[in-house]
């Protein structure tokens, strides 16, 4: 099959979260299964063309895209996902993509990603390449299924092209004022109360995708179930329920070339399940970096996260005074909502021997925290998949998670009598329930044999892409069949 994989962030070129990990690691696996995959993403200011040897694509050339009556010129640069032959097409438009962040609150945020989506389709046309599937990811690509069935349907090239839409996070929908209808050139027939592109009188890019893509998935089975409920559906539950037969959960895989302690180039000391004692070297380095005491009897709990309420930081905030009384140290890497940045900073200033925070984005440090911590905390309110708990399992860093979405699908609560389980989980979204799970973890940590067992249980698991990639191929096939009925 020919597959266009479209995403707003892709590792190693640009990343704010797990979408980038998925977009950098799934396409090569799909390609290795005998498919022709091309990736499409914006060419952000932060992407270093020299480093990645990106070349302007003369075949595509310069093309105009009209938005709100103005013409913007686009170009395309071509590169490859590192160490693969998967082509990546970077949509270049300096006015839209040379900004300080990947995503902004600027007034033309809608126009930025309208430009991107139209430019992707124009690039495909100019390449004369007929994809069987356009695989769209999150709201930044949500209009493509509508465009294929309407604005671009005149072009026979797309006659048989089916669309698949992956929901990585329902919390971000690309919801804009009605004026976005004009910038996006969405025909009025798609905009009526409770209609395809309408949500409470606003334009909603994600909702349009849920109406018009041939197949839909999200990134874990549990989250797929949750999304059909009012509690988790963020207003999309009815739309998704109406598409229930075309909607599945496929758990994300991870790239163990980047994320395993035996291969990790970014950590001071590599280790394997049989040399687990070497993990202590990483703990020492982590504690030194953060001026914490390196003590085998004091567990270090790591956090690497966007500091967003989604991730359960309101629970942590409420539990903080109790948490600092426990025999543990907390290392936090993250950035995001100012409230949480300030909260951790204050606690770290008052209790430097207990808590350390590094505000910002730091890939090397994220690896050191995975390798050097004893436990990893992810008490998310909701979690479509979550990757850090999966990385943690491989690093022998025992995850403490709330039982929701992908966290529930990947972490098994410790059973003391059977010595089974890979982490600690709790279900009620309360600070008390979270604290109980943390206390249980700290308690097990004092029992060295059992602790080793829980680490080994997790390290043995395999969440590589192999199985999930096959499920994507099945999904593509179903989409293709539906489109060509």
Q: What residue 219 binds from ligand ADP, ligand GLC, none (CB within 5 to 8 A, per partner kind)?
A: ligand GLC
φ, ψ at 39 (rounded to 5°): -105, 145
Binding of ligand ADP at residue 362 (CB under 6 A)? yes
**Cβ distance 223 to 249 under 8 Å?**
yes
Binding of ligand GLC at residue 264 (CB under 6 A)? no
Binding of ligand GLC at residue 174 (CB under 6 A)? no
Residue with smaller CB distance to ligand ADP, 28 or 386: 386
Segment contacting ligand GLC (CB under 6 A): 15-23, 85-93, 148-156, 323-331?
A: 15-23
**Cβ distance 479 to 163 under 8 Å?**
yes
Count Cα neighbours of 6 within 13 Å in the Cβ-side half-sphere: 27
Residue with smaller CB distance to ligand GLC, 19 or 400: 19
The site map against ligand GLC for 206-235 (x = CB under 6 A) is: -------------x----------------
Encode 389-417: b = buried (16+ Cβ within 10 Å), e = exposed.
bbbbbbbbbbbbbbbbbbbbbbbbbbeee
Among 19, 86, 357, 369, binds ligand GLC (CB under 6 A): 19
Q: What residue 374 binds from ligand ADP, ligand GLC, none (CB within 5 to 8 A, per partner kind)?
A: none
In 3D, which of 323, 335, 438, 321 has the Cα closest to residue 378? Answer: 438
Q: Annotate 320-380 with DSSP letters as a single string.
A: HHHHTTSS-EEEEEEEE-HHHHHHHHHHHHH-TTTEEEEES--HHHHHHHHHH-SEEEE--
Q: What residue 351 binds from ligand GLC, ligand ADP, none (CB within 5 to 8 A, per partner kind)?
A: none
- Secondary structure of residue 305 in the 3-state scheme: strand
Among 39, 236, 333, 408, binds ligand ADP (CB under 6 A): 333
Looking at residues 369 to 408 of the shown chain, list those that interact with ligand ADP (rule: CB under 6 A).
385-388
In 3D, which of 167, 127, 165 has the Cα closest to residue 147? Answer: 165
- Secondary structure of residue 451 in the 3-state scheme: helix
In 3D, which of 282, 290, 288 has the Cα closest to residue 266? Answer: 282
Binding of ligand ADP at residue 335 (CB under 6 A)? yes
Q: What residue 74 binds from ligand ADP, ligand GLC, none (CB within 5 to 8 A, per partner kind)?
A: none
User: Which residues are near ligand GLC by CB under 6 A?
Assistant: 17-19, 22, 168-169, 219, 252, 383-387, 406
User: Which residues are near ligand ADP by CB under 6 A?
Assistant: 17-19, 21, 304-306, 333-335, 361-363, 366, 385-388
């Amino acid at each position: 099959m020919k597959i266009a994989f479209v995403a707003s962030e892709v590792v190693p070129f640009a990343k704010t979260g797990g979408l980038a990990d998925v977009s950098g690691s799934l396409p090569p696996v799909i390609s290795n299964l005998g498919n022709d995959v091309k990736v499409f993403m914006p060419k952000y200011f932060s992407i270093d063309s020299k480093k990645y040897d990106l070349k302007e694509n003369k075949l595509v050339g310069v093309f105009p895209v009209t938005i709100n009556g103005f013409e913007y010129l686009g170009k395309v640069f071509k590169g490859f996902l590192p160490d693969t032959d998967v082509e990546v097409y970077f949509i270049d438009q300096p006015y839209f993509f040379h900004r300080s962040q990947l995503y902004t609150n600027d007034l033309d945020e809608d126009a930025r990603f309208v430009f991107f989506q139209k430019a992707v389709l124009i690039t495909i046309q100019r390449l004369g390449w007929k994809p069987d599937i356009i695989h769209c990811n999150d709201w930044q690509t949500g209009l493509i299924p509508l465009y294929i069935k309407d604005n671009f349907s005149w072009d026979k090239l797309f006659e048989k092209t089916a669309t698949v839409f992956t929901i990585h996070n329902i919390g971000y929908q690309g919801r804009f004022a009605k004026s976005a209808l004009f910038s996006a050139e969405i025909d009025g027939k798609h905009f009526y109360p409770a209609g395809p592109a309408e949500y409470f009188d606003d334009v909603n890019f994600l909702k349009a995708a849920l109406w018009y893509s041939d197949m839909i998935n999200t990134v874990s089975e549990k989250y797929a179930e949750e999304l059909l409920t009012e509690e988790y559906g963020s207003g999309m539950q009815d739309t998704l329920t109406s598409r229930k037969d075309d909607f599945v959960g496929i758990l994300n895989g991870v790239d163990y070339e980047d994320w395993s302690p035996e291969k990790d180039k970014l950590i001071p000391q590599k280790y394997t399940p049989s040399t687990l004692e070497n993990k202590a070297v990483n703990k020492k380095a982590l504690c030194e970096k953060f001026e914490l005491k390196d003590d085998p009897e004091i567990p270090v709990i790591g956090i690497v996260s966007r500091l967003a309420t989604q991730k359960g930081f309101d629970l942590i905030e409420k539990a903080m005074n109790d948490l600092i009384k426990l025999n543990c140290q907390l290392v936090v890497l993250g950035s995001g909502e100012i409230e949480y940045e300030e909260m951790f900073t204050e606690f770290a200033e008052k209790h430097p021997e207990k808590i350390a925070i590094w505000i910002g984005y730091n890939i090397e440090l994220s690896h050191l925290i995975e390798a050097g911590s004893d436990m990893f905390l992810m008490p998310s309110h909701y979690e479509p998949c979550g990757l850090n708990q999966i990385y943690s399992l491989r690093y022998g860093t025992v995850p403490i998670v709330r039982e929701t979405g992908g966290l529930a699908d990947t972490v098994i609560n410790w059973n003391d009598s059977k010595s089974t389980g890979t982490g600690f989980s709790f279900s009620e979204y309360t600070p008390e329930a979270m604290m109980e799970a943390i206390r249980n973890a700290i308690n097990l940590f004092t029992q060295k044999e059992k602790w080793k067992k829980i680490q080994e249980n997790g390290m043995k698991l395999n969440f590589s892409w192999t199985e999930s990639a096959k499920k994507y191929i099945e999904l593509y096939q179903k989409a293709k069949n539906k489109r060509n009925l």
